[in-house]
């Protein structure tokens, strides 16, 4: 095989280089999986639900009012950014804003 290339394309990558490459892919995969999983939970559009089924204010317990969507970026442990779009809600009584899906933790 005669393959003359000007660029060096790791013909003999070191173990460390391979590990770095694998880590990068794992981090990207992790970010992708995280994004998929959290976006899945968001598929329930609570803003169209009756009041009784909407998320409630953590302070006073009143059903939240949907205030459109907001995008957040979260950092994974691998250093990748995960983009999350969430329905943002505010309490009509105390005016506090929530991302209901993040209220559990």
- Select from 59, 70, 75, 85 the one that contacts Zn ion (CB under 5 A): 59
Pick between residue 57 and residue 82 the one whose CB is nearest to Zn ion: 57
Residue 44's nearest CA partner among 31, 54, 34 is 54
Binding window for Zn ion (CB under 5 A); candidates: 21-29, 37-45, 48-56, 60-68: 60-68
Task: Return left, alpha or beta for 62; rule: phi > 0 is left, psi -120 to 50 is alpha, else beta.
Answer: beta
Pick between residue 13 and residue 60 the one whose CB is nearest to Zn ion: 60
CB of 44 to Zn ion, least distance (A): 21
**CB of 46 closer than 8 Å to CB of 99:** no
Q: Beta strand pairing status for 81-90 and 65-75?
A: antiparallel
94 binds Zn ion (CB under 5 A): yes
Which residues lie near Zn ion (CB under 5 A)?
57, 59-60, 91, 93-94
């Amino acid at each position: 095989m005669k393959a003359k290339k000007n660029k060096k394309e790791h013909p003999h990558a070191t173990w460390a280089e391979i590990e770095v490459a694998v880590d990068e892919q794992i981090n990207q995969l992790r970010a992708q999986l995280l994004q998929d999983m959290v976006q899945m939970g968001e598929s329930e559009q609570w803003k169209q639900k009756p009041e009784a089924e909407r998320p409630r204010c953590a302070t006073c317990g009143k059903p939240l009012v949907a205030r459109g969507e907001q995008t957040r970026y979260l950092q994974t442990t691998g250093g990748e950014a995960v983009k999350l779009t969430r329905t943002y809600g505010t309490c009509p009584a105390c005016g506090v804003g929530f991302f209901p899906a993040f209220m559990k933790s």
